[in-house]
Chain A
Amino acid sequence: MRSRSMALTVAVALLSGFWCVAPARTAQQSGAAKTTAPAPARDLSGIWLLTTGARIRSLSKQTPPMTPLGQEMFNANKPGFGPRAVPGGNDPIGHCDPPGLPRSLMSERPIEFVQVAGKMLQFLESYHTWRDIWTDGRALPQDPDPRWYGYSVGKWQGDTFVVDSIGFDKRSWVDSLGDPHSEAMHLREQYRRLDHDTLERTITLEDPTIYTKPWVSDRQILKLQAQEGLDEDFCVGSEEESFNQRLRNPAAGK
């Protein structure tokens, strides 16, 4: 009896490794075809969930070497995760600042691509936001005002959709570990649909004022989801403030 119970517990625990990367849904059970049907040409339409690894904390395990400015910004960032985690911390999302990019792309929440004439819309369930990725041939703006999600243009190169983005607000963090970026950050995302249900992505971050060489992400895999829409996920300032005042801060001894 006890060994059966233990076996059941272990089996269920092992399954959690799959569930972890898709807490709100089962990525392995896409209502889309459970098949390796070929990818439609130059079509990213649909809702996609990041599945690579059990925890996506950063672009890769190894951060490129930082410049003195980068190190200074890194030291000032006090995350709630990882080896430098501190109670309370100063993660900007703790005040409902938008996560920005590339942090939002590493969320456990799905994204959705909608292709229309002249642009690709990327909806992010995380913080209920979207990006215009212009495909009409326009150039990236010169010296733009910084934005949390920057400015993006995209184009197809063969079967890969390449997105270039600049113009980022430096207040966001690259990831939940507190890695910084400047307004000069240039992001390149490359999306390649491997089959009907599988999307491969790599992200390259270049920010010479912060990192001494380009930061190339691990290969990321997203799976097509059957759901018809994204959930609502807002960071509500009043809720965040209430939580901070009533619980997070006193629990941290602040």
Chain B
Amino acid sequence: MKSRLRISFALVIGLLAVYCPAFAHHGSSISYDLKKTVELKGTVTEFVWSNPHAQIYFDAKDAQGNVKHWGGETFAPSTLTRTGWTKKTLKPGDQITITVFPSKAGSPFGLVSSVVLADGQKFVPVSPETASTRTDGEQ
């Protein structure tokens, strides 16, 4: 029941991300392919708990085993706080499994869909199901 509630709550947050202008305050979501996700396992190098959007920088290996440095964008701290994030949720060295909507430009950046911490705790800022159904021309 607890996990179902958590996932349901995450879905709400996903809906908020799609339909609430506050969560796309500066309109950067247009840069990402919201119909596609990429899952990466990596190591956090920096967690920027700051406006306008919190950022997760991490190193992850590509298919060839080469380490690539990625940047993940998510919501402002004021929004993340309401779903249990704190400035201490991530720190350098943390091992994470992170899913992002990748940059349309092909650069190693993405809009964070979900983050799973080493202890199994999962956060879902934007679920793929809700992101793929965006309407009114907003990308």
Question: Are A and B a genuine interacting pair, yes or no?
Answer: yes
List, in ascending order, chain A residues with CB within 8 A of B105's CB.
87, 250-253
Q: Is B27 an interface residue (CB 8 A)?
A: yes
- Contact at A15–B12, with CB atoms within 8 Å? yes
Q: In the complex, which residues 63-85 of chain B have their Cβ closer than 8 Å to any Cβ of chain A?
A: 71, 73, 78-79, 82
**How many residues of B are in contact with the other chain, CB < 8 A?**
46
Spot the interface stretch: B14-22, B35-43, B88-96, B115-123. B14-22
- Contact at A248–B20, with CB atoms within 8 Å? no
Contact of B103 (CB < 8 Å), options: A12, A54, A252: A252
Which residue of the partner chain A has the closest CB to B27?
A80
Spot the interface stretch: A185-193, A206-214, A233-241. A233-241
Name B's A-contacting residues (CB within 8 A). Answer: 4-5, 7-9, 11-12, 15-16, 19-32, 48, 50-53, 55, 57, 71, 73, 78-79, 82, 103-107, 109-110, 136-139
- Contact at B26–A12, with CB atoms within 8 Å? no
- Rounded to whole angstroms, the CA-CA distance of A12 and B22 in the bound complex is 19
Name A's B-contacting residues (CB within 8 A). Answer: 5, 8-9, 12-13, 15-17, 19-21, 23-24, 54-57, 79-83, 85-89, 91, 93-94, 108-109, 176, 231, 234-236, 239-240, 242-243, 246-248, 250-253
Please, could you name 13 A-B residue pairs with CB atoms under 8 Å apart, sorted by A? A9-B4, A12-B9, A19-B12, A80-B27, A85-B137, A87-B28, A91-B26, A108-B21, A108-B22, A239-B51, A246-B55, A247-B71, A252-B105
